[in-house]
Amino acid sequence: MDTARSAALLLAGFVNFDSTPTGELPAGWLAGVTGRGSPRWAVAAEATAPSAPNVLKQSGSGTFPWCVDKRASLADGFVEVKMKPISGREDQAGGVVWRWKDGDNYYVARANALENNVSL
């Protein structure tokens, strides 16, 4: 990535998990589940990460596990997320949450690799 684009992404709020110790949730983030289950969100080492060495990984189970940065605020912009589904019998999904108030009140755009679809 060239320096000018890199600086623009940082100004816009580019986020990676490379400074968070593995096994921990990033500072300012909150994790939970809508429905039932025991999700486990933590930073993990991943050699294929877009910004190696770390990613945010969900390794537990749950109806709809979520993880949000409580400090995030965006108006008139866009969000880009890179995800890699690696397991799951019912779903292999991930996406973007917005207008998050709490674990039962939010919008989500989610891509599911098992169903080959994106839903809102």
Domain ranges for the chain = 3-119
* pLDDT tier, 81 (very low <50, low <70, confident <90, very high otherwise): confident
pLDDT in tens, 84-119: 888 878 888 888 998 999 999 999 999 989 899 999
- Residue 63 CA to residue 61 CA, distance in Å, equals 7
pLDDT in tens, 19-74: 999 999 999 999 999 999 999 999 999 998 888 899 999 999 999 999 999 888 88
- Residue 2 CA to residue 6 CA, distance in Å, equals 6
Residue pair 44/24 in contact (Cβ under 8 Å)? The answer is: no
- Residue 40 CA to residue 97 CA, distance in Å, equals 17
Which of 53, 50, 47 shows the shortest CA–CA distance to 20?
53
